[in-house]
Amino acid sequence: MTLEDLKKKMNASFENLLKDFGGLRTGRASVAMLDNIMVEAYGNKTPLQQVGTISAPEARLLTVQVWDSSLVKPTEVAIRNSQLGLNPVVEGQLIRIAIPDLSEERRKEICKLAGKYAEQTKIAIRNIRREGMDSIKAQKDAAEDQQKKALDDIQKITDEFVKKVDASLGMKEKEIMKV
């Protein structure tokens, strides 16, 4: 496993964290808030994006234009049962979702969830580091000083990505707590 491979894997974990952060509620409506919602459609769990068109026509409003009228109710139920605390209103095949102001308590809960996402990402990054270190240690033909340098390089890359995760978490927490 090369250092480039490690960087790619760690970067993929970091990008996944940013996607998860995009789904967390802040004070504004964002179509990314609904990214993780799965709808029971045709006997399968289907991402909400594949059931209808999601838009944010106003700062505090999301709309979902459901394509198939038989999926309006399951879509409403999926949104209502998500951990986002949203209350959808159905108007024909259009679902309106007003984004209420967040209470201080709810903001703190969302910050904890963001912290959980960040910790999961750090664990993934450390697991990638372990894979890389194990592959370096498994190379019997490499000189000891080459192995030491490679292990140090892996640790530097890991530290770099952990700092990026911490910085992103700090920014997301500020954004969530901003009234």
Can you name the CATH fold of 3-21+103-177? Topoisomerase I; Chain A, domain 4 (1.10.132)
Angle between helices 104-138 and 3-22 (to 10 degrees): 170
Helical spans, DSSP H, in the chain: 3-22, 72-81, 104-138, 144-177
What pLDDT score was predicted for residue 25? 65
Multiple choice CATH, 28-98, 3.40.50.920, 3.40.50.300, 3.40.50.800, 3.30.1360.40? 3.30.1360.40
Domain with CATH 3.30.1360.40 in the chain: 28-98
pTM across the whole model: 0.69
- CA pair distance 62, 32, nearest whole angstrom: 10
Cα dihedral across residues 91, 96, 97, 101: positive or negative: negative
Q: Is 59 helix (H, G, I), strand (E, B) or coil?
A: coil
Per-residue pLDDT of the chain (179 residues; tens, 9 = 90+): 788 999 999 999 999 998 888 777 666 777 888 888 899 988 899 998 999 999 988 888 899 999 999 999 999 999 988 877 788 999 999 999 988 777 788 888 888 989 999 999 999 999 999 999 998 888 877 788 888 898 999 999 999 999 999 999 999 998 888 76
What pLDDT score was predicted for residue 166? 95
What pLDDT score was predicted for residue 75? 93
| Tokens, residue 10 | 């760690």
